[in-house]
Amino acid sequence: MNNLTRTSLVKRLVRTQAFSLLILLVAMILIFTALAALKGARFFTAKTFIGILQDIAVPGFLAIGAGCLIVSGNIDLSQATVGALSGIVIAIGISWWGLPWYVAVLIAMLFAAAIGLINAILINEIGMAPFIATMAMAAVIRALMQLLATDSGGALQSTVTFTDPALTTIGGYNIIGDIPMTIVIVVVAFIIYGIILKKTELGRSIYMIGGNRRAARLSGINSKGIIYFLYINCSVLGGISGLAYTARAKQGSLQALSGDQFTGLTAAILGGISFAGGSGGMGGAFLGLVVLKTFYKGMLIVGSSTYLTLVLSGTLLILALSLDVWSQRRQRKRLGI
In tens, the pLDDT along 35-71 reads 999 888 888 888 888 888 888 988 999 999 999 999 9
pLDDT band at 113 (very low <50, low <70, confident <90, very high): very high
Q: Report helix, strand or coil for 180.
A: strand
Is the per-residue pLDDT at 99 higher than 60?
yes
Residue 304 pLDDT? 82
- Does the pTM surpass 0.85? The reply is yes
Residue 113's nearest CA partner among 201, 232, 209 is 232
Q: Whole-angstrom Cα distance, residue 79 to residue 193?
A: 18
The number of C-alpha atoms within 13 Å of 323 and in the hemisphere containing its C-beta is 14
Residue 33 pLDDT? 92
In tens, the pLDDT along 215-258 reads 888 888 899 999 999 999 999 999 999 999 999 888 999 988 88
Q: Whole-angstrom Cα distance, residue 117 to residue 120?
A: 5
What contacts 287, CB < 8 A, 6 or more positions away? Answer: 18, 21, 22, 25, 271
46-55, 87-96, 123-132, 183-192: least confidently modelled range: 46-55
Q: What are φ and ψ of residue 179, in 5° steps?
A: -85, 115
Do residues 230 and 74 make contact, with C-beta atoms less than 8 angstroms apart?
Answer: yes
- For the chain, give the percent of residues with pLDDT over 70: 92
Strand blocks (E) in the chain = 159-161, 174-176, 179-180, 251-253
Mean pLDDT of the chain: 87
Residue 22 pLDDT? 86
| Mean pLDDT within 167-177 | 77
Instruction: Tell which wins on pLDDT, 14 or 50.
Output: 50
In tens, the pLDDT along 248-297 reads 888 999 988 887 878 888 888 888 888 878 888 899 899 999 999 999 89
Do residues 22 and 287 make contact, with C-beta atoms less than 8 angstroms apart?
Answer: yes
Do residues 94 and 162 make contact, with C-beta atoms less than 8 angstroms apart?
Answer: yes
Q: Whole-angstrom Cα distance, residue 179 to residue 55?
A: 10
Domains and CATH numbers, the chain: 44-331 (1.10.3470)
How many residues would you count in the chain?
Answer: 337
| Mean pLDDT within 308-329 | 78
